[in-house]
Amino acid sequence: MATEGEPTDLIKVLHLLTLSFTWGMQVWVSFIGGFVLVRQVTRHTFGLVQSKLFPVYFYCLLGSNVVSLAVFAVYHPRELLDWHESVQMLMFFVALTMAGLNGQWFGPAATEVMFQMREVEEEHGLGNQVGLSSQKEAYAKLREQDPKYRAYRSTFGRYHALSSICNLIGFICTTTNLIYTALNLSTI
């Protein structure tokens, strides 16, 4: 059901705050928090923190994208969309889909494999060093000697890459929608 007329000021504020929350969270988690954390704590602590942080992050993205898409869709009936509004609607939907894929599939799968890798690393005395680049030789040797660990690394790499791509696509969509919204503040 399309809503007639202009959105109220409260709806405009809700929409802008939701978009801003989403974008700010994406910037922090994607480009600041992880890079700082990986340089300050051990590899296994980093993995543990990410395993607790990412589900909350993905579901917050999912929820905020649902709110943004719903508000936008209510005030922009499909039959009346111009080209820019159609692109914006698509961006909201793609961002929602990417957060859903990460929350339901890629994130949990990467975390599960990360914990399997962690078990093998602990057996070999690895994972308690700070930074991902320390003890490169020991990790390379472990990959060479242990086919199970090599398979875990490969699977983790695949899920992590897919999750990162989804996250980046979602970030691009949110950024684009925030720009569109900023350029059309009077209409949300």
List the pLDDT tens digit at each of the 188 positions of the chain. 445 568 888 999 999 999 999 999 999 999 999 999 989 999 999 999 999 999 999 999 999 999 999 999 998 887 888 898 899 999 999 999 999 999 999 999 999 999 999 999 999 999 888 877 778 899 999 999 999 999 999 999 999 999 999 999 999 999 999 999 988 877 66
The predicted pLDDT at position 2 comes to 46
The predicted pLDDT at position 59 comes to 97
The predicted pLDDT at position 135 comes to 81
The predicted pLDDT at position 1 comes to 41
The predicted pLDDT at position 188 comes to 66
CA distance 26 to 87: 21
CA distance 76 to 71: 9
The single residue listed with the structure tokens 């005395």 is: 125
Question: From the CB of residue 164, how many other CB atoms can be counted at a distance below 10 Å?
Answer: 14
The predicted pLDDT at position 103 comes to 97
Amino acid symbol at 85: E
